[in-house]
């Protein structure tokens, strides 16, 4: 089983749509969780950390379910500039980040 | 805003040659990392480095790889004898502290092409 699993997409949505991405992780000892964004041929950039209580940053909401080992990201009112690959990332407790393969989002006008 | 920088942006080399990829982490950061991303695949951890020592490394980071902080600003990744399968984007990252909750800031990457 992959350490971090994501639906690769692509998700093709119109501007203004709400879109949700899911991610599962295999190691129950995982300690911290993140969503990163990666534009084509660029470096990953932190979008937000994910907490058990859920957290929101503007149009973005992240949720963590430790019991199900499941992480989600909700994007409301999608913009063209949201088009990117969204990476689910897990830290097992050391310094090593474990990345999912990413979910491609394409927002169209 | 401080950022991680990497040079060169693109390196082309012949199989069997040595390459050195260079990174300048954010100045007050103490922890340094290398990751790689083969085209079309996920980002993979290679190594973490603190206080002039490797603190963790992956199975990918075998004897042909080494890291060094030769001075107070640079952090390098050396590949001794490159193979075709080393072709990838190599990202350097740094963080202020260690541990699960500290953000790692990534550089723009060096694209390594091995012919």
pLDDT over 90 (residue A94): no
Whether residue B25 lies within 8 A of chain A, CB to CB, comes out as: no
The percentage of chain B sitting over the pLDDT mark of 70, rounded to a whole number, equals 97
* Contact check, Cβ <8 Å, A99/B58: no
pLDDT (tens digit per residue) in A37-87: 999 989 999 999 998 888 999 999 999 999 999 999 999 999 999 999 999
B56 closest CB neighbour out of A42, A45, A96: A96
Rounded Cα distance, A43 and A85, in Å: 11
* Contact check, Cβ <8 Å, B91/A44: yes
Confidence of residue B112 (pLDDT cuts 50, 70, 90): very high
Whether residue B103 lies within 8 A of chain A, CB to CB, comes out as: yes
A99 closest CB neighbour out of B43, B89, B109: B43
Q: Which residue has the tokens 């030769």?
A: B70
B48 closest CB neighbour out of A93, A96, A98: A96
pLDDT over 90 (residue B74): yes
pLDDT (tens digit per residue) in B38-72: 999 999 999 999 999 999 999 999 999 999 998 87
Residues whose CB is less than 8 angstroms from the CB of residue A57 and which lie 6 or more positions away in sequence, other chains included: A47, A48
Whether residue A43 lies within 8 A of chain B, CB to CB, comes out as: yes
**B27 burial level (CB within 10 Å; 0-12, 13-18, 19+):** exposed
Whether residue A42 lies within 8 A of chain B, CB to CB, comes out as: yes
pLDDT (tens digit per residue) in A2-14: 899 999 899 999 9
Strand runs (DSSP E) across B1-115, as ranges? 5-7, 10-13, 19-24, 31-37, 43-50, 53-57, 65-68, 75-79, 88-95, 105-106, 110-114
Rounded Cα distance, A103 and A108, in Å: 16
Q: Which of A100, A107, A106, A103 is closest to A26 using CA atoms?
A: A100
Pick the residue of B67, B104, B108 with the most A CBs within 10 A to test the interface with A by mutation.
B104
Tokens representing A63 are 């949720």
A95 closest CB neighbour out of B43, B48, B111: B48
User: 10 Å Cβ neighbour count for B9?
Assistant: 9
Tokens representing A52 are 């058990």
Whether residue A29 lies within 8 A of chain B, CB to CB, comes out as: no
């Amino acid at each position: 089983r992959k350490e971090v699993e994501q639906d690769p997409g692509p998700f093709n949505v119109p501007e203004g749509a709400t879109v949700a991405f899911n991610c599962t992780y295999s190691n129950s000892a995982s300690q911290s969780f993140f969503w990163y964004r990666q534009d084509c041929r660029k470096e990953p950039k932190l979008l937000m950390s994910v907490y058990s209580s859920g957290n929101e940053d503007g149009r973005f909401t992240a949720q963590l379910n430790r019991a199900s080992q499941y992480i989600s990201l909700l994007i409301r009112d999608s913009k063209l500039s949201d088009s990117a690959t969204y990476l689910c990332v897990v830290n097992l407790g050391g310094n090593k980040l474990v990345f999912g393969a990413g979910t491609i989002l394409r927002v169209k006008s | 805003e401080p950022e991680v920088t990497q040079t060169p942006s693109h390196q082309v080399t012949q199989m069997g040659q040595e390459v050195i990829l260079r990174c300048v982490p954010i100045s007050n950061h103490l922890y340094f990392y290398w990751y790689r991303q083969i085209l079309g695949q996920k980002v993979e951890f290679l190594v973490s480095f603190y206080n002039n020592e490797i603190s963790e490394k992956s199975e990918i980071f075998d004897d042909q790889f080494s890291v060094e902080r030769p001075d107070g600003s640079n952090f390098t990744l050396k590949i001794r004898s490159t193979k075709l399968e080393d072709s990838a984007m190599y990202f350097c990252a740094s963080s202020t502290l260690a541990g699960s909750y500290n953000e790692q800031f990534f550089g723009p990457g060096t694209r390594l092409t091995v012919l």
